[in-house]
Amino acid sequence: MKRLLMAFALAASTLGFTAMGQDMSNGADNFYKSDKVTLQKVSFDNQYRMKVVGSLFTPKDAKPGTHYPAIIVGHPMGAVKEQSSDLYAQKLAEQGFVTLAIDLSFWGESEGKPGHMVSPEIYSDDFSAAVDFLSTQSFVDGQRIGVLGICGSGSFVISAAKIDPRMKAIATVSMYDMGSAARNGLHKSQSLEQRKQLIQSATDQRFVEFTGGEPVYVPGTVNELTADTPEIQREFYDFYRTPRGNYTPAGEKEELTTKPLLSSLVKFLNFYPFNDIETISPRPMLFITGDQAHSREFSEDAYKRAGEPKELYWVKGAGHVDLYDRTDLIPFDKLTAFFRANLK
C-alpha cells in the first residue's frame, strides 16, 4: 500500500497537486493586491445545486451603465483561487475586464463533500455556472464572456467550452490534460499494469470509506525536501510549500492543502477533454506554455487537435510553475490582446 501511495504521490505532483514557495525572483507575486480594482466575494449555484464561491474583480474606474466583457479564471488543480487565479484575475481587471476567479467545487470555499473530491464533470460545470452568474450582472455583457484555465483548469475550461457556446474565447496557461496525465503519466511513462494497480488501490480505499473507514488523501507534494525529491516535486514545493504561494483556506488543515481524495482520483481516467476539441471552432483558442515546462506536451497536443483560429504561444525560459505567479514572465499583454480582440 505504501508503495502505491508513493506512486500516486508522484503522479499527483506531476498533475499539479501541490502547495507553497521561497524563491521570489522573476517577479513572483502570487498574493498581489491591486489598487486599481474592486474585490467582491460572490457565490452562486452550479447545476448540481452546489455553491461555488469566487472573487469578482471590477475596474475602479468602471462607468455606471456600461456593459463590460468578462473573463472567468480557474486555479491549478488542487489549489484554490488565492493561488495564481486571483493574480491573473486582478491583472486582467486592470485592463478593463470584469474578472471572476472561482474555487472549484470540493476545494477552497466552494461546497462539496467530501472535500478534495476529484470530479472533472462538476469542475467543468462550475465554469458554465460562472457564465450563468456573470450573465445576470448588470455591468457585464453576457455576449462577451471568456474563460482562462491555469494548469489543470485548462483542461476543465476546454471540457466546458465544448458544450457551452457562451464562452466566446478560451485561453489556457501551463495546461495539464488531467485525464491523460492520470492515465499515462508524463511522456507516457506509466504502464497499463501500473494504472491497474492504482485503480485497485483507489477502489480498495473507496470500500474502506464506504464501510466507515477514514479517508486517505494523496500526498501531492512533500512537506520537506530530501536528496531524493524529484525535480518536478521540487518545482511545485517552491510554490505551494513556502511563503511564495502557501495558502490554507479557512477550515482546512494545512497538511491537507492541495491533496485530492485517493478514492476519487481514478475519475480522471475517464476524462478526455481534448476529444472533439475541434468543435469549439470558430471560437478562438490560445495555449500559453513555457518552453521549459514539464507540462508542455499537453498544450502541444491540444493545439494540434484544435480547430482554427488557434495559437500556441511559447514563453521563453519559463517552466510550468513559473507561469503561476512570476509576473516578469507571465505574458499578460498577450492575454489582454487575445481577450480584447475576441470579446469585442
Instruction: Give, in words, the CATH class of 32-184+194-218+261-342.
Output: alpha beta
More confident residue, 308 or 7: 308
In the structure, what pLDDT confidence band is assigned to residue 4 with cuts at 50, 70 and 90? very low
> Which range (107-111, 142-146, 250-254, 278-282) has the least confidence?
250-254
Q: Is the pLDDT of residue 18 over 80?
A: no
pLDDT in tens, 108-129: 999 999 999 999 999 999 999 9
d(CA 325, CA 80): 14
Q: Is the pLDDT of residue 180 over 80?
A: yes
pLDDT in tens, 39-54: 999 999 999 999 999 9
Q: Is the pLDDT of residue 3 over 50?
A: no
Q: Is the pLDDT of residue 99 over 80?
A: yes
What radius of gyration, in Å, describes the C-alpha atoms of the chain?
A: 19
Degrees, nearest 5: CA angle 258-243-117:
10
pLDDT at residue 23, as a whole number:
62
Beta carbons within 8 Å of 132's beta carbon, 6+ residues apart:
44
pLDDT at residue 248, as a whole number:
87
Average pLDDT over residues 87-100: 98
Nearest CA to 152 among 12, 312, 266, 305? 12
> Which range (6-15, 29-38, 134-143, 292-301) has the least confidence?
6-15
d(CA 2, CA 6): 6
Average pLDDT over residues 14-21: 38
For the chain, give every domain's residue range: 32-184+194-218+261-342
In the structure, what pLDDT confidence band is assigned to residue 17 with cuts at 50, 70 and 90? very low
Q: Is the pLDDT of residue 172 over 50?
A: yes
pLDDT more than 90, % of the chain: 84
